[in-house]
Amino acid sequence: MGSAMKQMRLRLDTRLVHAGEPVPRVGGAVALPVFQSSTYEYSGDGGDYHDLKYIRLNNTPNHAALHTKLAALENAEDALVFGSGMAAISTTLLTILGAGDHVLLQDCLYGGTHDLVTKDLPAYGISCGFIRADKPAQWQAALKPNTRALYVETISNPLMQVGELKAAAAFAKKHGLLSLIDNTFATPVNFRPAEWGFDLSLHSATKYLNGHSDIVAGAVIGSKDLIGRIKRKLDHLGGSLDPHACFLLHRGLKTLGVRVRQQNQSALRLARFLARHRAVKSVNYPGLPTTRGHARAQALFDGFGGMLSFELRGGLAAARRFIQGVTLPVVAPSLGGVESLITRPATTSHAGMSPADRAALGITDSLVRVSVGLEDIIDLTEDFNRALRPV
Ligand code: PLP
């Protein structure tokens, strides 16, 4: 962004388009080109290893533009992209935690994160404990003298619940913990964690940030100091993002605002339609008063997101029939793309969790999860309606 633009208080959609763009533009190119070069000329003045311009060190022009744009979107100081959302999460946790440390996490988490902290981190001497994100009164009892961080998700996957997010950031501050939040489901359009006191915001950029189901990428956003520490770890662990994927993520980001606002609207309409349908037992969507955390979502978010899940009265057999019956949504894991996706989390995102753990959290085998895409909502609703008809 040019200096005149920096002085203006630009709104999110303008920042999506202009923040981080090189000044002057490279060769006058309106779109930042892909810098498909693994290494860069070295001036020979003996700087720090981490400042060498090299593709694994995540500092090519494509990386730099993304870092500035992502930080601007969440009103934070700095950002860093990664080769996947899991690379962002694992590199960040391994930066801020070491042998002997303990981390408190929300009980209902993305399955990959849950597996990482329960199955991999113990081998590094890092232990974890779980809390209900909507029960702050219980958090103090879960604290240990070696607890270093608190980790939550803005909208929990797959039950779409919204915890006491403001209280979580305040609790972490009070007890000297770093507060981390996975903001993948909300996106910076609906929620900006730094504005509510979170130290680090994590994203699977594979999802809404890119928005087209064609790359894998991750991001972490926070203070210059913390991002600098995480970058050093990333330089060694090597989960950097390829410049061509940077280019695609950069292109996808420019339309994030229009995409997410449309998905907010469509998901709300679909959630309301499902909640009224007699074949549907219950619907989980932060925009519905019946979903736990609706009032908090109203207070904290600019929109309720494009993700919903629901249970059919006919249980597992009906869920299977429904998924086979819809024609527009693609039956596939992942989320946040232009096409609607549908899955049963017990067989995809949460398959790594034991059936007992899933049952304790209320994730049944029959739960159906939908990532609402950009299809016309009338077509989508009619398709769902057809598939819900009794056979
Ligand atoms: N966080 C959330 C909420 C996710 O849904 C996912 C993937 O589904 C991840 C993190 C991991 O991201 P990735 O698949 O880009 O590694």
Q: What is the pLDDT of residues 119-130, one digit of tens each?
A: 999 999 999 999
Mutate to test the pocket of ligand 1, among 82, 182, 207, 369 (most ligand atoms within 8 A of CB): 207
The domain segmentation of the chain, as residue ranges, is 3-253, 256-388
CA of 391 to the centre of ligand 1 (A): 36
Nearest residue (by CA) to ligand 1, atom 6, is 204
CA of 157 to the centre of ligand 1 (A): 10
Tell me the CATH number for domain 256-388: 3.90.1150.10
Write down the pLDDT at residue 91: 98
Say which CATH class 3-253 falls into.
alpha beta
Write down the pLDDT at residue 6: 63
Ligand 1, residue 109: give the atom nearest the CA.
3
Cis peptide before 22 (omega within 30 of 0): no
Cis peptide before 158 (omega within 30 of 0): yes
Distance, in Å, from the CA atom of 100 to the CA atom of 276, rounded to the nearest integer, reads 51
CA of 86 to the centre of ligand 1 (A): 6
Query: Which positions are catalytic?
Result: 56, 110, 182, 207
Nearest residue (by CA) to ligand 1, atom 5, is 110
Nearest residue (by CA) to ligand 1, atom 15, is 85
CA of 205 to the centre of ligand 1 (A): 8
Q: Which residues contact 223 (CB under 8 A, 6 or more apart)?
A: 76, 77, 78, 199
| Beta strands 341-343 and 330-331, pairing class | parallel
Mutate to test the pocket of ligand 1, among 81, 82, 86, 335 (most ligand atoms within 8 A of CB): 86
CA of 254 to the centre of ligand 1 (A): 21
Nearest residue (by CA) to ligand 1, atom 14, is 85
Distance, in Å, from the CA atom of 298 to the CA atom of 77, rounded to the nearest integer, reads 26
CA of 63 to the centre of ligand 1 (A): 20
Write down the pLDDT at residue 2: 58
Structure tokens at 260: 């997410």
Q: Which residues contact 175 (CB under 8 A, 6 or more apart)?
A: 143, 147
Ligand 1, residue 88: give the atom nearest the CA.
16
Mutate to test the pocket of ligand 1, among 115, 152, 184 (most ligand atoms within 8 A of CB): 184
Predicted model pTM: 0.96
Write down the pLDDT at residue 362: 84
Spans of the chain, pLDDT less than 50: none
Contact assessment for residue 259 and residue 338, using Cβ atoms and an 8 Å cutoff = yes
Write down the pLDDT at residue 232: 97
Nearest residue (by CA) to ligand 1, atom 11, is 85
Ligand 1, residue 216: give the atom nearest the CA.
15
Contact assessment for residue 171 and residue 139, using Cβ atoms and an 8 Å cutoff = yes
Residues enclosing ligand 1, CB less than 6 A? 84-86, 110, 112, 157, 182, 184-185, 204, 206, 216, 218, 334, 349
Ligand 1, residue 89: give the atom nearest the CA.
10
Distance, in Å, from the CA atom of 283 to the CA atom of 369, rounded to the nearest integer, reads 10
Q: Report how far apart, in Å, the C-alpha atoms of 72 and of each of 15, 48, 203, 216, 270 are.
A: 7, 27, 15, 22, 32
